[in-house]
Amino acid sequence: MIAYIIRRILLMIPTLVAISIISFIIIQLPPGDFLTTYVAQLSASGETVDQAELEALKERFGLDEPMYMQYLKWAGNFLKGDFGHSFEWNKPVSELIGERLSLTVIISVFTILFTWAISLPIGIYSAVRQYSWMDYFLTVIGFIGLATPNFLFALVMLWVSYAYLGLSIGGLFSPEYAEAPWSIAKFLDLLKHLWIPVVIVGTAHTAKFIRIIRGNLLDELRKPYVTTARAKGLSEVHLILKYPVRVAINPLVSTIGWTLPELVSGIAITAVVLNLPTTGPLLLSALLSQDMQLAGTFIMLLSFLTVVGTLISDILLAWVDPRIRFGAREGL
């Protein structure tokens, strides 16, 4: 087991190095650089930037250096724990990401809880009462979130929250709490706004969980021990919840690892529409304006989360289920 973990960790290193190079190239792919975006924005509001100022700006942003030098500098600093400086926000990247990460994590945690709370009962019900009308109805409900593009759902929710619920527009806090220190009232205010993104992002993931739970539970229910238990006259509820459900949700453990990074980037589009102070909108705007160091750090962060997440879930899975542990090399 330990050898397996060490091998996996060693394999992570070349992957992350490759990702860092690819991410740098990917960010550079769009035509122009941060300066082009900057000048384009100025010209959109009617300003003209003359050649002299352009040269000065280029030097100021360090864009006059060749690509590989920019990369090496960034990567070198990265190893030292300095994530660089954002052009667009004129702030250290770590500060920018740091201040938004906590809210992102809060939303993600709530979203995971919400997703499980919805998908667990639906999954169990639709496995136990397979092909009943209620099964169909609940499945459709569970899947509708997957089928609706998040950005549109978010826009409609934004309108609904304004027109019918009277909430302040976008964001996670009412204006009076935005700058206030944490308190019970502020937390309640947060909850009042939080449910909208949680529902939008959460429903997009329920389908996947329902499918896993339903599939596993169906397998489990066909096993002889269930028949035996039933024959012994155990009550149906007790019978299902006691063992089959427990076994069926085991694989969900494996989702913990990759759900978090997926949520962090999955929330991005919703967060842009809803104007949430999370990392997503920052990532998108950094990519659009080719804010190299900010975007690069983001990609590295998300990739790292995914790599580690996958590792953790594989380890958890192997730990929970000895069958996988012994056949581990196959599933690598």
Binding to other proteins (CB under 8 A) within 244-263 occurs at: 261
Query: Which span sits near other proteins by CB under 8 A: 63-71, 225-233, 235-243, 269-277?
Result: 269-277
**Is residue 53 involved in binding other proteins (CB under 8 A)?**
yes
If one asks whether residue 215 binds other proteins (CB under 8 A), the answer comes out as: yes
Asked if 52 touches other proteins (CB under 8 A), the answer is: yes
Verify binding: residue 72, other proteins, rule CB under 8 A. no
Q: Nearest to residue 292, comparing CAs of 92, 94, 87?
A: 87
- Applying CB under 8 A, does 101 fall inside the site for other proteins? no
Binding of other proteins by 312 (CB under 8 A): no
By C-beta, is 56 or 256 nearer to other proteins? 56
* Total residues in contact with other proteins, by rule CB under 8 A: 104
Phi-psi region of 173 (alpha: psi -120 to 50; beta: other; left: phi over 0): beta
Whether the CB-CB separation of 111 and 261 falls below 8 Å is answered with no
Does position 69 interact with other proteins (CB under 8 A)? The reply is no
Q: Binding string, 25-44, against other proteins, x = CB under 8 A?
A: xxx-xxxx---xxxxxxxxx
Q: How far apart are the first and last CA of the chain?
A: 13
Nearest residue (CB) to other proteins, 104 versus 306: 306
Tokens 């759900």 correspond to 259
Let me know: does 306 contact 233? Beta carbons within 8 Å.
no
- Binds other proteins by CB under 8 A, chosen from 118, 248, 299, 318: 299
Residue found by looking up tokens 């329902």 in the block: 210
CB of 320 to other proteins, least distance (A): 19
**Longest CA pairwise span in the chain (Å):** 88
Compute the chain's Rg from CA coordinates.
24
* Tokens read off for 129: 């009462």
What would the two tokens of residue 90 be? 């004129």
For residues 300 and 26, is the Cβ–Cβ distance under 8 A? no
- Binding residue (CB under 8 A) for other proteins from 71, 74, 83, 85: 85
Near other proteins in 278-297, by CB under 8 A:
281, 283-285, 287-289, 295
Task: Give yes or no for residue 76 binding other proteins (CB under 8 A).
Answer: no
Q: How far apart are CA 35 and CA 32, in angstroms?
A: 8
Alpha-carbon gap, residue 165 to 94, rounded angstroms: 36
Q: Other C-beta atoms within 10 Å of 120: how many?
A: 18
Please name the residue that has the structure tokens 């660089």.
Answer: 84
Lay out the site mask for other proteins across 155-174 (x = CB under 8 A, - = otherwise): xx-xx--xx----xxxx---
Window of 182-190, 240-248, 300-308, 312-320 that interacts with other proteins by CB under 8 A: 300-308
Q: Using CB under 8 A, which residues numbered 110 to 149 contact other proteins?
A: 131, 136, 139-140, 143-144, 146-149
